[in-house]
Structure 1
């Protein structure tokens, strides 16, 4: 769908065309843009799939600053869009305020829990999917060192890193996982140059496989891994196609399904917490023609075994966000 160019002006003012169609859904993309080839783009693909399958229409907006979050939510709610979906945890504070002011509007927030009767909170078991790609990294690495590049240094991203480390060490218990975060502000999501610098430093320290959970910054990680002769692991969307032959796999979060489901339920959107994990294919390790040459039969068997054990409860992957600690480090 066409970006609402008039929605956000230079002075961060918001303007919607008068007479919006009541009950059309809307989605607000987080910083980094809807074509970030990662989290936002997965959300966009879910909205587009809904539009194509139903013939419906929706509105969207890409934010350029944190200050626009509450404005965007209010304008969509005031104009009758329902439900309003937010791609990203950073909307939580604004949503807590706006949801109370518009009790007849349904909202869905991805990657955060907001307790309100008209809000659906979609959260993912990223640690489970990250465990799987950690297992893959262990089989792909000839040595005992792999690495992780995160975006903003927050507990959610440490959740990826910890699961990855636990999966890697389930195969190589004496191995080493180098963990670096890109920064402490939202700019960390869109700094591919810094991502590349961190990747080169990790290779110098012995890393053979790098997992990037860093939004647009991850594009620099994937490119540098290719240039430096390393393997990389993508995130959120299936990024195997970005560097075929050097992206080992991608830890996919079905953000597209979260958006598609919210749009499909429409004004009848069910509130509460919706957990997307391995058991309902909410997370996975991506396999396709782009990484087929890198995935051995032994690796496939190990991944299938790990997935089955996690789903059954035989293997419990530690959730960093439960206590902000990681036993695998």
Structure 2
């Protein structure tokens, strides 16, 4: 009987110790769980406000209808991001659009890869980009060639002073033409292409004043950024009507313009990137829109946990590579003209020359006289 009572006491004590141990383990687990949850919540909170430092930035790019082989600004953005990917600085993928109706579904597809940033290339995507930013407030967006009009906190607008370098190449066209007759081929009428057109017109006018002669400027739009046949047809008509220099600001349409220059043995001016390889014997100069450099700067900022959402960043001639010109390596532009271009560049940067961005400014600044 005594042994039985002793065993009962031992059993009770063992059970009590087991329950106490279990309770302690549960309390410990609960405390650890609470700490983990708090850490997770803190990390989640940080993720909403900025990209975690030390992580590889993920960027998904959505092109406009020109695609990544437009030999223009889509390609510039693609090349800039691709080089950063090769250097291991970012993870990068892209989605090509081929028509306007692709923009919205492509932006929806871009969310699937859970990128830190969705980059849209071209002002034509603004409405869809703005709408996507509104519907996905925790997703960061950036758009090339359009301001952040609504100042949305998760959207960065990136624009370029295209009228400034267009003025410089317009001056070159005006000084180079032997027929005193030049042309401009635009993609689609817009505020962006207005900057190219009226900057170019103003530069031609500057040359005309210097030469003390009138220079005719033909202008026509292709209503497309991808129709190469339309570009070639328009440029052919300009060359055959007497123009000997044609500038294009038309994305992929410009490939057709360049082909027309070669076939007519006339001069052409490229856009957005150095296009001299497309026509080594016919290209005078190209305007440079450093889209690749711009998106690299955005990627660098994201890697540091920085994002200028809610703002618009504009690049100008004063920024150097982001807005510039590139002469073709063929000596078609005389040294004295190049020297004068540098003087004009400085005057623009210093504010001594005002360059129009549209027809209204072109008139108010006296370039129509």
Specify if TM > 0.5.
Answer: yes
Query: In the alignment, what sits opposite 1:49?
Result: 83
Query: In the alignment, what sits opposite 1:175?
Result: 215
261, 280, 286: which one pairs with 2:319? 280
The residue matched to 2:87 in structure 1 has which SS? helix
Q: How does 1:135-150 map to 2 (within 5 A)?
A: 135-150=171-186
Q: Are the equivalent residues in 2 in contact too, given 1:47–1:256 (CA < 8 A)?
A: yes
Q: Distance in 1 between matches of 2:108 and 2:56?
A: 15
Q: How does 1:31-110 map to 2 (within 5 A)?
A: 31-77=65-111, 79-110=113-144
Deviation at 1:315, TM superposition (A): 0.3
The residue matched to 2:172 in structure 1 has which SS? helix
Deviation at 1:176, TM superposition (A): 1.5
Q: Distance in 1 between matches of 2:285 and 2:266?
A: 13
Structural RMSD (CA) = 2.1
Give the unaligned 5+ runs of structure 1.
Answer: 1-20
1:319 and 2:357 matched: yes
Deviation at 1:295, TM superposition (A): 2.1
Q: What is the TM-score when the length of structure 2 is the normalising length? A: 0.77
1:201 and 2:240 matched: no
Q: Are the equivalent residues in 2 in contact too, given 1:37–1:237 (CA < 8 A)?
A: yes
1:295 and 2:329 matched: no
Q: Distance in 2 between matches of 1:167 and 1:176?
A: 13
161, 181, 187: which one pairs with 1:125? 161
Query: In the alignment, what sits opposite 1:160?
Result: 196
Mean Cα displacement is larger for which, 116-125 or 155-164? 155-164
Q: Distance in 1 between matches of 2:251 and 2:347?
A: 29
Give the unaligned 5+ runs of structure 2.
Answer: 1-54
Deviation at 1:260, TM superposition (A): 1.4
The residue matched to 1:172 in structure 2 has which SS? helix
Q: Are the equivalent residues in 1 in contact too, given 2:185–2:220 (CA < 8 A)?
A: yes
Q: Are the equivalent residues in 1 in contact too, given 2:62–2:110 (CA < 8 A)?
A: no
Q: What is the TM-score when the length of structure 1 is the normalising length? A: 0.86
Q: Distance in 2 between matches of 1:27 and 1:324?
A: 35
Q: Distance in 2 between matches of 1:73 and 1:195?
A: 29
- Please give the per-residue CA displacement for 1:284-307, whole angstroms capped at 9, x wherever unaligned: 1112xx433212111111110110
The residue matched to 1:316 in structure 2 has which SS? coil
The residue matched to 2:199 in structure 1 has which SS? helix
More helix by proportion, 1 or 2? 2
Q: Distance in 1 between matches of 2:112 and 2:230?
A: 40
Q: Are the equivalent residues in 2 in contact too, given 1:249–1:291 (CA < 8 A)?
A: no
Q: Are the equivalent residues in 1 in contact too, given 2:120–2:129 (CA < 8 A)?
A: no
The 3 A distance-change label for structure 1 pair 323 and 67 is: farther
